[in-house]
């Protein structure tokens, strides 16, 4: 295998993006991916003959990083937003209520709003309202989302609202989720506005009009195809099915014993000391045209909810209009924590309970396992002369991963430049 200026280890979104940035600065790039496909946690599988996202299925619309990349890739016209129906909360007592309409990571902008009281009860809502009486400095130095909300609004909001959202969206716990990574600007908004509720309101007001998330018509996995085409266009050598077993500042060694010399960018969790969790995702297809959208676009599950193993449900055909147009079937996706035994039958029972409606047996199902890598505690991103990108460096979320990969690719010293054409 020939040497290169830069060797990128890992062909997930971070690796594809950083490779593109590097080749545009004039570097000769080789990308090595251990699996037989690219994209990492942005992947495709087929359920009932429909191509669906097997991993990430949406991205946060906050910030310019993903819109800018989609514009470059000529995918802006393919962006779609979910249905406006609210998601629901399946509470610890087994009842279901709509999630509060105005919130951020489950943090309510109006603690005494009717939907907040319905979700967490009057006592917890009144405790949350005490946020208005606290000095702005209370909680301002919190490191995690859980610490901030607990100090400002109390445990009732953390356990009843924030935890289900954080577990469902970030596969994490509130006390493990770094505040500045999950909610950039919320800390400064708290100091400026004086209360956490007003800070949430201000952050929501700054967000783009419409939905807080979006995807691509046909599936988010189309992003991988577009990035792969870009790398081919610019002459990046991409090798799938090529595991790397050793890496140092001067190059890497593959499982086949080949040495590839060059500056190294690790875009996979190679020898990374970071927390890891496994997530299992089950997707079922049921023939139930009368179902409608009984719980909006999906359901987030409070810890301790009875007789339900899933931590979140996404009603895909209720959420995405293009998907509802593509099939008469109902497509339902459920997420599970590590250690839960998941079968199509288990997913079917959980879907019935969370949607509050009987469902026929699935006509097809698929179960996929993912490993999520948490952010490393060590903030140094260049270790032993090797650069690192990916979730362990940037934190969770596609926007954070793309932002960090693009900036890293631009910051590595270049040898000339290339026209993006």
Domain boundary among 175, 206, 237: 206
pLDDT tier, 253 (very low <50, low <70, confident <90, very high otherwise): very high
Residue 368 lies in a domain: yes
pLDDT tier, 202 (very low <50, low <70, confident <90, very high otherwise): very high
pLDDT tier, 416 (very low <50, low <70, confident <90, very high otherwise): very low
- β-pair type (103-104, 107-108): antiparallel
Cβ atoms < 10 Å from Cβ of 167:
22
pLDDT attached to residue 339: 86
Residues 116 and 201 in one domain: yes
Residue 319 lies in a domain: yes
pLDDT attached to residue 321: 96
Rounded to whole angstroms, what are the CA distances from 202 to 185, 187, 289?
A: 10, 12, 40
Residue from 170, 84, 155, 102 nearest 125 by CA: 155
Residue 342 lies in a domain: yes
Name the H helices within 242-362.
316-319, 321-326, 344-355
Output the DSSP codes for 50-115: EEEESS---EE-SSSHHHHHHHHTT-GGGEE---SPPPEEE-TTS-EEEPPSSEETTEESSTTSHH
Higher-pLDDT residue of 211 and 358 is 358
Residues 403 and 254 in one domain: yes
Residue from 277, 268, 322, 30 nearest 171 by CA: 277
- pLDDT above 80: residue 414: no
Q: Long-range contacts made by residues 100-103, C-beta under 8 angstroms, separation at least 24? A: 100/161, 102/200, 102/201, 102/204, 103/161, 103/165, 103/200
Least confident of 63-67, 84-88, 149-153, 375-379: 375-379
Least confident of 272-281, 317-326, 362-371: 272-281
Cβ atoms < 10 Å from Cβ of 209:
5
pLDDT tier, 378 (very low <50, low <70, confident <90, very high otherwise): low
Rounded to whole angstroms, what are the CA distances from 16 to 101, 111, 237, 268?
A: 36, 42, 11, 11
Residues 262 and 399 in one domain: yes
Residues 105 and 201 in one domain: yes
Cβ atoms < 10 Å from Cβ of 66:
22
Cβ atoms < 10 Å from Cβ of 302:
21
* Mean per-residue pLDDT, 30-55: 96
Domain boundary among 206, 233, 260: 206
Task: Assign residue 320 the CATH number of its domain.
Answer: 3.90.660.20
* Mean per-residue pLDDT, 71-93: 94
Residues 388 and 260 in one domain: yes
Output the DSSP codes for 214-248: EEETT-TTHHHHHHHHHHHHTT-EEESS--EEEEE
Show Cβ contacts of residue 369 under 8 Å, excluding neighbours closer than 6 positions: 278, 279, 280, 281
Q: Is 192 helix (H, G, I), strand (E, B) or coil?
A: helix
pLDDT attached to residue 372: 72
Least confident of 57-61, 135-139, 284-288: 57-61
Using CA atoms of 214, 299, 206, 390 in order, give the dihedral in degrees to the nearest 10.
Answer: -60
- β-pair type (251-254, 259-261): antiparallel
Residue 245 lies in a domain: yes
Least confident of 123-127, 151-155, 252-256, 388-392: 388-392
Least confident of 205-219, 322-336, 406-420: 406-420
What percentage of the chain carries pLDDT values higher than 70?
92
Cβ atoms < 10 Å from Cβ of 140:
15
CA 14 – CA 11 distance, rounded (Å): 7
pLDDT attached to residue 419: 44
Least confident of 166-175, 183-192, 252-261, 359-368: 166-175
Residues 111 and 195 in one domain: yes
Q: Give the residues across from 301 on adjacent strands.
A: 90
pLDDT attached to residue 420: 47
Residue 77 lies in a domain: no
CA 132 – CA 227 distance, rounded (Å): 47
pLDDT tier, 10 (very low <50, low <70, confident <90, very high otherwise): very high
Residues 192 and 106 in one domain: yes
Into how many domains does the chain fold?
A: 3
Q: Domain of 303?
A: 276-373
Task: Assign residue 22 the CATH number of its domain.
Answer: 3.50.50.60
Residue 418 lies in a domain: no
Output the DSSP codes for 348-409: HHHHHHHHTS--PPPSEEEEEEEEEEPPPS----EETTEEE-SHHHH-SSHHHHHHHHHHHH
- pLDDT above 70: residue 275: no
């Amino acid at each position: 295998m020939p040497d290169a200026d830069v060797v990128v280890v890992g062909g997930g979104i971070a690796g594809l993006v950083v490779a593109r940035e590097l080749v545009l600065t004039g570097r000769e790039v080789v990308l090595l991916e251990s699996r037989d496909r690219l994209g990492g946690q942005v992947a495709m599988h087929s359920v009932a003959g429909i191509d669906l996202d097997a991993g990430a299925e949406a991205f946060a619309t906050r910030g310019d990083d993903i819109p800018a990349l989609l514009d470059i890739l000529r995918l802006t016209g393919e962006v779609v937003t979910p249905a406006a129906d609210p998601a629901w909360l399946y509470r610890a007592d087994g009842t279901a209520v709509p999630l509060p309409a105005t919130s951020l990571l489950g943090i309510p902008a109006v603690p005494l709003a009717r939907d907040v009281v319905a979700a967490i009860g009057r006592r917890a809502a009144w405790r949350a309202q005490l946020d208005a009486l606290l000095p702005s400095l209370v909680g301002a130095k919190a490191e995690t989302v859980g610490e901030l909300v607990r100090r400002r609004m109390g445990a009732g909001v953390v356990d009843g609202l924030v935890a289900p959202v954080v577990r469902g969206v970030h596969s994490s716990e509130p006390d493990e989720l770094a505040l500045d990574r999950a909610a950039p600007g919320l800390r400064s908004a708290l100091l400026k506005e004086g209360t956490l509720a007003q800070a949430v309101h201000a952050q929501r007001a700054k967000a783009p009009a419409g939905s807080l998330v979006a995807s691509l018509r046909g599936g988010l996995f189309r992003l991988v195809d577009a990035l792969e085409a870009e790398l081919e266009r610019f002459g990046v050598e991409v090798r799938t099915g090529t595991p790397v077993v050793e890496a140092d500042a001067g190059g890497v060694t593959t499982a086949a014993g080949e040495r590839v010399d060059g500056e190294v960018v690790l875009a996979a969790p190679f020898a990374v000391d970071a927390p890891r969790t496994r997530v299992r995702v089950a997707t079922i297809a049921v023939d139930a045209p009368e179902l409608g959208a009984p719980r909006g676009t999906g359901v987030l599950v409070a810890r301790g909810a009875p007789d339900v193993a899933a931590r979140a449900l996404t009603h895909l055909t209720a959420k995405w209009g293009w998907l509802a147009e593509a099939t008469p079937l109902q497509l339902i996706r459920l997420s599970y924590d590590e250690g839960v035994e998941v079968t199509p039958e288990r997913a079917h029972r959980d879907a019935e309970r969370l949607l509050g409606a009987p469902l026929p047996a699935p006509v097809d199902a698929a179960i996929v396992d993912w490993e999520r890598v948490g952010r490393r505690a060590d903030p140094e991103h260049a270790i032993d002369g090797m650069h690192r990108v990916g979730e362990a460096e940037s934190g969770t979320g596609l926007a954070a991963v793309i932002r960090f990969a693009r900036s890293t690719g631009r910051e590595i010293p270049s040898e000339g430049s290339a026209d993006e054409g």
